[in-house]
Amino acid sequence: ATAGWQAALLALLLPLAGTLGLLAVPDAAMAVATLLCMDACARLLRNVSAGAAVELAVGLALGAFSHYRFIAVLAVGFFALLLMPEGRRALRDPRMWIAIAFGAAAWTPLVAWNVDNAEAGLRFQLVDRHPWVFHADGIQFVLVQSLLVTPLLLVAMVVAAWRHARDPRPAPRFFALLGGLVVLGFFTLGFFADTERVSFHWPLQGFIALLPLLPSVLDRWPRWLRLATGAFAALGLALMLAYYAAVSVPRLRETTAATRWYPANFAGWQKLAVQTRRLLHAMPKKTRIVADDFKIGAELGFALRNPRIAVLPHPLNVKHGRAPQLRLWGLREEMVDRSRGPVLLVVGASEVSLRELPARYHELCQRVGPLPAPRTISIDHGRQRFLQFELPRLKQHGPGKGDCTTPAIAWIERPAVGSKVGRRFEVNGWAFKDGVGLRAIWVTVDGRRVARAEYGLPSVGPSMIWPFSNDPQQPNIGYRAQVDLGDMPAGRHWLGLWLIGRDGSVEPWSEVPIDLQ
């Protein structure tokens, strides 16, 4: 009983488990499935019974309904049973195989879906998203796990897996084999698998399997080390909760806007939903929303309670394996037929790298027609930017006709991001707006205009990178401005641009931090 409540407290303190459910990932259901299978197998290793077999069947089915990743628990669990004499004895009982057959049958819908859709899900999970070549970045995966589990707790788990793998009692030995091999497998996989998408939660099921073994290990440690282990785990949990709280507070989140740690997936959706709702009220009735990518479609669909928001083809849909599902749901829209009524197009300008952005805008022109002046929603100094386009109804079928007109694109070459500047300094770079060109550029500091730039200077670099650009002013798209900040207080400020198009558009560009001396 003492070991039970200690393991339960450790489950709550383990940062990955203590924050389970805050992210929209399937690990909450997988954790329940893993615990059901662990409990059932512990009972079956002692004595096969109908009740334990039913519990195993339910756990296997729930895991099958959760995620492809549950296959790791299945494979390792079955292998662990084969390694143990008690496990081989249990596998000779037909009730075990009835439970296993029930769990296997639960994969039928997923298998059938893959068969009907050219194995799209399996190809994404097992082939497309992984490089399958050795890369040293895997050490980062291991280091991140040591922080997320907390170092002392991870050491205790390693000791628990090693010690109990030879335990004479079948249940602890099974937990050690299951947890140790799952964690070791994912640690090894980290050197060959995907590093671009979220993967920090992958080994959680293995850690859960090791939790019941920790009290017996910690009981042998000195009191000060046990206290330190619990304190570090509590600190790790507090830091993870603090992180989730921080990314929900704009004032705190924007401090990371110029760093690689910026939580783009958590930023701006509420503001986007509010602005979209307001714009829809001002537009004609029966205006359709068309999203640029699946994330925008999902977030707006959730916020506006509209599950039928159409989504355009986008590299992001492919990267995250969502393209086949959008097609099956009838939400993928290749070309926007504006004869059906007015359209509100919502585009994520920050979801594509700057190098790929002009090509993406030209692709949008092919799908919806020339783009009118956008409404820009800028979050956290423009690190997250959304563009809204009001597209009126057209008489002819299909997208609008005409030369491609796109939103403006710019770059601040000097001063560099995070550089130190005096009260007077020069700002230069380039900017263009395909289709119509720019009329003026204003330099802003903290959102306030401070200088009008001289525009039209030669800058051949962008035309070489994007030869398809149809800005009428190419290659004279450079700008230069002298900025005098006068009595502005020293410290961190944000330097930005207002891009004034010849079509009357006013588009704020992403800001960069500078340190005023």
Count other C-beta atoms under 10 Å from residue 27's C-beta.
22
Per-residue model confidence as pLDDT tens digits over 120-157: 788 888 877 778 888 787 788 888 888 888 999 999 99
The residue among 398, 418, 293 whose CA lies nearest residue 346 is 293
- The whole-angstrom separation of Cα 409 and Cα 426 is 20
Per-residue model confidence as pLDDT tens digits over 154-207: 999 999 999 999 999 999 999 999 999 999 998 888 888 776 666 778 889 999
- Beta strands 310-311 and 438-445 are unpaired
Long-range contacts at 259-263 (CB < 8 A, ≥ 24 apart): 262/380, 262/383
Per-residue model confidence as pLDDT tens digits over 49-94: 999 999 999 999 999 999 988 999 999 999 999 999 999 999 999 9
Asked whether 194 and 132 are in contact (CB, 8 A), the reply is no
Long-range contacts at 121-129 (CB < 8 A, ≥ 24 apart): 121/68, 121/321, 121/324, 122/68, 124/321, 125/68, 125/321, 126/68, 128/321, 129/193, 129/194, 129/196, 129/197, 129/319, 129/321
Per-residue model confidence as pLDDT tens digits over 408-440: 999 999 999 889 999 999 999 999 999 999 999
User: Tokens 């952005």 map to which residue?
Assistant: 357
When computed from its CA atoms, the radius of gyration of the chain, rounded to whole angstroms, is 28
Asked whether 7 and 35 are in contact (CB, 8 A), the reply is no
pLDDT at 198 (0 to 100): 67
Half-sphere exposure of 401 (CA within 13 A, CB side): 6
pLDDT at 256 (0 to 100): 84
Q: What is the residue type of 62?
A: L
Long-range contacts at 309-313 (CB < 8 A, ≥ 24 apart): 310/336, 312/336, 312/364, 312/367, 313/367
Q: Considering the chain, what percentage of its residues have pLDDT values greater than 70?
A: 99
Q: Give CA separation, 375 vs 108, 167, 266, 302, 336, in Å.
A: 46, 65, 21, 22, 19
Per-residue model confidence as pLDDT tens digits over 97-119: 999 999 999 999 999 988 888 78
pLDDT at 197 (0 to 100): 67
Average pLDDT over residues 242-262: 85
Q: What is the residue type of 295?
A: K
pLDDT at 196 (0 to 100): 67
List, in sequence order, every residue forming a beta bridge with 94; answer none if it has no partner. none
Q: What is the chain's mean pLDDT, rounded?
A: 91
Q: pTM score > 0.85 for this model?
A: no
Per-residue model confidence as pLDDT tens digits over 11-47: 999 998 888 888 888 889 999 999 999 999 999 999 9
Buried b (16+ CB within 10 A) or exposed e, 103-129: beebbeeeeebbeeeebbbbebbeeeb
pLDDT at 487 (0 to 100): 84
- The whole-angstrom separation of Cα 510 and Cα 517 is 22
pLDDT at 58 (0 to 100): 97
Q: How confident is the model at residue 258 (pLDDT cuts 50, 70, 90)?
A: confident
Q: Give CA separation, 112 vs 30, 63, 99, 153, 318, in Å.
A: 21, 17, 21, 41, 21
Q: What is the residue type of 5?
A: W
Average pLDDT over residues 320-339: 88
